[in-house]
């Protein structure tokens, strides 16, 4: 009994001595974050695109959102014809869309140009081809908890070159793979939704995009740093990870983000219990 009373007294003393400690997290000068991830939905008739250039500023470690940039000049040049496509931020939300709709062509290099605070940022990209889905279906297997939902994806890989893929399973869930062990083959794999990641029953949009090796490496490093949650890998920038866009006016003030163009295959799957 005496031991119990002593324990309670010590516990009260310790709780009363708790003190909130504020930690100063160092922050640097905000950098321009350029997310220009173009998708070409080549299966659709007619072909459609998602060609939005998102401009943000890097923020502090504990900030949940990145400040938007609405006063930049954004253009895209077709380097085969030197034709210029202008972009504008219609809704003043930091999302720049082309003033005239266009579809990126095969074997053409495009140069993105962003002018912000009198400095010019440039990056180049060409469209990467993507195969069609052979099949996408819900499976019956689970993992450790027994409450996961399996999705089985099958596609055919091109044997003529090394290929890299980025899959988007909706709800900010991504998977990047390379064809090192299945080059030129029909390939299938399982992806598992955790119970808290998807509502059952519901429809999920699954995307497959072919990407360059450089973007594949960039994306893997970025997701390893930022994780899968919190609005996607570009929602917050945990470190100064360099992409393929450079500041041509001031190399020391380099931007964050990436310029990529991919054909994108899509599949809407109805998940059931």
Cβ partners under 8 Å of residue 199, min gap 6: none
CB 76 within 8 A of CB 85: yes
Q: What is the mean pLDDT of the chain?
A: 87
Q: How far is CA 90 from the centre of its chain?
A: 23
**Residue 184 falls within a domain, yes or no?**
no
**Residue 98 falls within a domain, yes or no?**
yes
The confidence score (pLDDT) of residue 49 equals 97
Per the structure, the complete domain to which residue 253 belongs is given by: 32-129+233-264
**Residue 163 falls within a domain, yes or no?**
no
Q: pLDDT by residue (tens digit) across 201-239?
A: 999 999 999 999 999 999 999 888 766 544 455 555 545
**Residue 143 falls within a domain, yes or no?**
no
Rg (CA), the chain: 23
The confidence score (pLDDT) of residue 239 equals 57
Q: pLDDT by residue (tens digit) across 33-53?
A: 999 999 999 999 999 999 999
Q: Is the pLDDT of residue 13 over 80?
A: no
Number of DSSP helices (H) and strands (E) in the chain, helices first = 2, 16
State whether the Cα torsion 254-72-65-225 is positive or negative: negative
Confidence at 130, pLDDT banded by 50, 70, 90: very high
Q: In terms of pTM, does the model score above 0.95? A: no
**Residue 11 falls within a domain, yes or no?**
no
Q: Is the pLDDT of residue 2 over 60?
A: no
Confidence at 174, pLDDT banded by 50, 70, 90: very high
**Residue 121 falls within a domain, yes or no?**
yes
Structural domain total, the chain = 1
**Residue 36 falls within a domain, yes or no?**
yes
The confidence score (pLDDT) of residue 243 equals 94
The residue-averaged pLDDT of 164-174 equals 96
């Amino acid at each position: 009994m005496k031991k119990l009373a002593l324990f309670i007294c010590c516990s009260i003393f310790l709780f009363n001595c708790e003190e909130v400690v504020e930690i100063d997290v160092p922050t640097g000068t905000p950098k321009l974050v350029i997310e220009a991830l173009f998708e070409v939905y080549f299966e659709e008739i007619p072909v459609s695109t998602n060609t939005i250039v998102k401009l943000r500023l890097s923020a502090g470690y504990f900030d949940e959102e990145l400040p938007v940039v609405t006063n930049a000049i954004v253009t895209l040049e077709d380097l085969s014809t030197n034709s210029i496509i202008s972009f504008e931020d219609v809704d003043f939300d930091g999302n720049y869309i082309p003033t005239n709709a266009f579809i990126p062509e095969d074997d053409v290099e495009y140069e993105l140009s962003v002018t912000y605070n009198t400095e010019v940022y440039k990056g180049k990209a060409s469209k990467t081809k993507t195969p069609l889905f052979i099949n996408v279906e819900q499976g019956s297997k689970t993992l450790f908890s027994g409450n996961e939902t399996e999705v089985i994806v099958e596609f055919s890989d091109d044997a003529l070159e090394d290929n890299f893929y980025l899959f988007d399973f909706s709800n900010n869930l991504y998977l990047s793979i390379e064809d090192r062990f299945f080059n030129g083959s029909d390939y299938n794999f399982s992806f598992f939704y955790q119970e808290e990641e998807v509502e059952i029953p519901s429809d999920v949009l699954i995307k497959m995009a072919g990407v360059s090796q450089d973007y594949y490496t960039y994306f893997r490093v970025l997701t390893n740093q930022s994780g899968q949650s919190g609005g996607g890998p570009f929602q917050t920038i945990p470190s100064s990870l360099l992409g393929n866009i450079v500041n041509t006016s001031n190399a020391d003030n380099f931007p964050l983000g990436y310029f990529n163009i991919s054909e994108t295959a899509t599949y809407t799957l109805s998940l059931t219990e």
